[in-house]
Structure 1
Amino acid sequence: MRIKNKIFVFPFKLVVLLATSLSFGQVNKLVAAQQAIEKEDFEQASQLVQKIDTRLFNPMQWADFLVVKGEIAGFNNNEIESFKFLTQAKKKYLQLNAKTKAIDLNSELFYLLYSQDNNPTDPMLFLNEYMQFARSNKDTLRLARGYQLQACWYVNDPDKKDYCLKLFHQALRFNRIAKDEKLQSTIYNNLSVFFNENLKRPDSALIYLKRDQVYLEKNSKNDELCFNFINQADSYTKKKAYKQAIQCLLKADQIPLKKYPIKTKAILFFCLSENYACCKQYKEAYTYHCLFTKKDSILNQKAQNISINDIQTKYRTKEKELENLQLKVKNKNKSVWIYSILSAVLIGGVLLYFQFVNLKRARLLALNGKELETQKLETTLKKQEVLVIESLVEGQERERRIMAQELHDNMGSQLAALNLNIGVLKHQLEPLNAPNKAAIDKIELMMVDLYNDVRALAHEKKQGVIVQEGLVPALNKTIQQLSNAQLLTVSLYTFGLYKRIDNSLEIMLFRMLQESLTNIVKHAQATQANLYLTQHPDHLNIMLEDNGIGFTYKSNSKQGMGLLGIEEKVEQLGGQFRVDSTPNNGTTLIFDIPL
């Protein structure tokens, strides 16, 4: 019986191996092309795509292949072909229920339409769909990318300058949570251009260019770093700081380039010539002007060569098309024989495989019966554990309610009665001399303070019960109390909090946030606060910001004893606590708590 099983399986395995090896080789080429595009090596990606045989691709691989074709067409400035490939890929992703991949193509489609003039299709249709998906999924990375794209859309609208700047800041705020360095670099670069060209504020542009410079140097992005220095030089030129502009351009000249070296050098030499002329260093200006002229002539010659090569390529293509037609006829006959043999082997293998599966299925049925019994037993044990835990939690909640009720009803009512008796005694002893009246008034005030303290203690005991409902519901109740009392308007935003965290941690976090909100009411003179809770796989990020008067925070100082206590609690939890505040610019508290 064992020998027969091996005979049945062998032909099927042979067929599967033949088909898999052919498909696997093509998939490897597709993956290599995708990796080349990520490295922005479009020439290698184009060569790989030409060698790919898509006949053995499944629908998902075919959709990925269309995306690669669209990226290459976009690089070659063929926007119409790129748009066609990307929209076809999006349609296939939606048919395969791969909605995330489909939505991500919207940013590419937006860029394509945004870069074209007089296009009848509105790019914002794709961007609005992208933002709606990001908001519904509370996806901070896509929200950051979407706000950055919206800012690019409005960047040249003179009536939308303030709105555009607000969109850029929104992108930075959400990316601060997402922590995507590459996107942050893009935002910094676009912000610097916006400040330099649209707002005419080169000082602000330089701030973001220097921040971006740190990332580009760290990740060895030589081509982008070169243009960063050129943009810094442009900002210095606008400030008429020509010597600093020259220093930046000389730094750029030392960077080795991979993409467009001749064109980049031409721009660089032109800028050096202009800045040296402004410094009245005419000898250096003439030298770099000559270098610019030389590079520019090379570019013009290359453009002519490309035109000639295009004409030659068209003629060669027609000759090859005739040769390919002849080869296709020959190969078609060979392919018919090969596919006929493969089909016969495949059909035989499939029949043998089904026979083997039927034999194996009988054995699996017996094993499944035992597994079902084991699963039922495990389920019963888990239900019992859950019941025990629920009874313990219910007992703790009952104790808290009883204690709070005792404090409020018994002790509170006794204090109220005592205060009433003191009032009666005061009335009976009238008229009182000044010292006795002052003493009784002081006793009454002490009784009122004691009564309020007992009520506050009862309320505090009930807060533990409130947190049992969950951190978010407890915070919502506290926020509602502040709003009802017209003390502070708080907006709560949650991302990724789909499951409850440990209850003891919830209580500690609630206490810290409750104290922080109290500090805002007491000291910040704020009218609005925003509270963001973002749950990551290994930690919880909390950000509380207000529009108050702000302050200069110094750790371990007396002015921040409340904040110092919160910092100590966060450190006990193994987390990090940061305070970002300056006078007249509000305050931001950031918690990073490990889970």
Structure 2
Amino acid sequence: MNLDPDKFEDLKKAEYYHLLALTNTNLNYGDQAVRNFLESRQIYIENGLEEKVAETNLDLANLLLTMEGENRMYKSYLNEFASYSRKSKLPINFVKLYKSMGTADLFDGKFTTAMQHFRKALEYNRISRDSLLESTIRCNMAIVYSDIIELPESSAVCIAEAKRFRPKNDSGTLCNILINESSLYRSLGKYKIALDKLFEAKAVPLPKYERKTRLVILENISSLFDSIGNYEKALEYRNQYVKVNENLGEIGQTLYINNLINRLAVKERESENLRLKIATYSIAATLGGIIIISFITYKNITRKRKLAEQQKIIETQRLENKISEQELQHIDKMLETQEKERQRIADELHDDLGSMLATLKMNFQHLELREDLASAEKKWLERTDELIDQTYQKVRSISHLKNLGVAASEGLLQSVNRMAEKMSIPGSLQVNVIPFGLTNRLENTTEVTLFRIIMELCTNAMKYASASEINIYLNQHEDESLNILIEDNGKGFDVSEITRKDGIGLKNIEKKIEQLGGTFTIDSTPGSGTTLIIDLPI
């Protein structure tokens, strides 16, 4: 049964083309999928469906990234999705955006930038908690660690996390995890386990990207057999690769297969049954031996150089850790000193200066009772009495602000609510507190530290960002983690140009949170406000 999309209403037609594009993507018909996406996108634009346009832009960008010769065209669509993400401010859109940006960096060979984007995607996913995206991002990071940076321990951690977050029924992610595990074991020289993982991946039924994934698996199996000297199997799986990939260039395939056949013949000449072929392949064998010896020598030299560099890095890290510990101790002392100084000032204002003002007021009231005072003198006394009242109220207000903290009976949430009430100024500044799941108390020292950090960040938004609205999100998750997100509508700033300011400073806040085992993320653009994210295990 053939469907005629021209008979559909606009929105139904757009959905039809979008689904058709996804189907063609899964079947590896990239050119047709691009045409379908563009048809769907145009209808969404004409109907003003901004969210659907953004979704299609992201699908187009991700598809064009994987298409040879077309992967430069993805940028305009990804940039449009980035603009929509900043406008919508939905964390899930930022997860998808930074994941795609990291993938694009991998294609461009910008591996450091790619890892930064993947980590940023993970930070936003702490709020969105999308398990499929989490698993996919961890898989991408594992590839970089095992194949490029050569940090197998980090790759193993990423793979373990990818397994933990993988949705149970998602066979595509399972297949990718197995391929990544194979790559990890190959980098460790465990070729037998690497092959076993690839055969496991080969047996996984795939609902989408079936042919493209099969090509990756078959090519890696052939390459592994090649590495262990089993050229018969290497040739067998290379031929399977050729059959699956109907569009592979004939010249490239012929050269590769001829190379495998020659290497197979070199191995076979060692057998007594093939003495007649020794003369034919002796030159090839000699050249092959020279190449292998040269390669092994090069690898040994490279390995020694890397070991020396790694040792230097380890020593540098040790020194940095010592410096970091000293800085953290300094921050603790500074916070403790600030807390004592706040308390001392509050006590002096309340007890000493407050009492003196109260006594002064009583004396003035006695003077006002005298009957022999002239009318002008009474006016001066009344005016002075009003000034004393104003000064007394000001002293009380300063005393309470200086003494603002986490009371033992209140906890973090109530203290933050109280702070928001005192900071809010009708018509000028509104501070909102949005809690979720914050039912359990934290350790008192942790609550005090977090409260001071939140107050410092909100004060910065008032003083430096000229914000008129500050939102504080306090989220306590079931996995015993705390997420604090503070966003303002201020003027924003360039994150790369952060300098130390008054107070404990953003850099010191970051170090203090790291000392508590958490992470601190800053996302800001000039003119677009600032978002600060704190993630903390509890």
TM-score when normalising by structure 2: 0.50
Larger Rg, first or second structure (1 or 2): 1
More helix by share: 1
Which one scores higher on RCO, CA 8 angstroms, separation ≥ 6?
Answer: 1
